[in-house]
């Protein structure tokens, strides 16, 4: 059965894989915990559904980690998940329609299929490649 799978290092959630069947099951579904720096959810509604207009209040937040959401629109990728000690601990195949939420540790990717298309969303502000990340 398709279900959300977490890659963990002890109590630290490094990544959360959301298969397409779960991501697009209908209604409003969020796959992030309230305390996480990135909030990721999906909508699945029929015609005529109205979502009330709203504005987001200015709220000061302290962001400690860049977190990412990867959505595979077409094709597939292999997400390589590393713990906080830079040791690879999982390979997660992310297929068309799937999401993967990357919360801590490290990550890298291998494109599996030609013409793969991916949407990446991460929290900001972006402080540039030298301060934002370190390659290993």
Per-residue pLDDT of 9-59, as tens digits, reads 999 999 999 999 999 999 999 999 999 999 999 999 999 999 999 999 999
Residue 135 has a pLDDT of: 93
DSSP string for residues in the chain = ----EEEEETTEEEEEEE-HHHHTSSEEEE-S-TTSSS--EEEE--TT-------PPP------S--EEEEEEESEEEEEEE-TTS-EEEEEEEETT-EEEE-SSEEEEEE-STT-EEEEEE-S----HHHH----
> Taking 90 as the threshold, does the pLDDT of residue 2 lie above it?
no
Mean pLDDT of 66-70: 97
Pairwise CA distance, residues 71 & 82, whole Å: 19
d(CA 74, CA 67) in angstroms, rounded, equals: 22
Average pLDDT of the chain?
96
Q: Look at residue 36 in the predicted model and tell me its pLDDT.
A: 95
Read off the pLDDT of residues 77-92 as tens digits, 9 standing for 90 and up.
Answer: 999 999 999 999 999 9
pLDDT above 70 covers a percentage of the chain that reads 99
pLDDT at residue 1 tops 90: no
pLDDT tens per residue, range 91-101: 999 999 999 99
């Amino acid at each position: 059965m398709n279900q959300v799978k977490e890659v963990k290092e002890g109590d630290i959630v490094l990544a959360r894989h959301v298969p397409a069947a779960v991501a697009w099951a209908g209604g409003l579904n969020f796959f992030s915990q309230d305390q996480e720096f990135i909030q990721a959810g999906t909508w699945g509604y029929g015609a005529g559904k109205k979502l009330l207009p709203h504005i987001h209040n200015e709220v000061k937040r302290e962001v400690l980690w860049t977190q990412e959401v990867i959505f595979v629109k077409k094709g597939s990728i292999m997400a390589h998940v590393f713990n906080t000690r830079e040791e690879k601990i999982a390979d997660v195949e992310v297929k068309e329609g799937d999401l993967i939420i990357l919360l801590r540790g490290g990550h890298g990717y291998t494109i599996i299929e030609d013409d793969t298309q991916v949407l990446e969303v991460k929290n900001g502000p972006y402080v540039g490649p030298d301060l934002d990340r370190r390659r290993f």
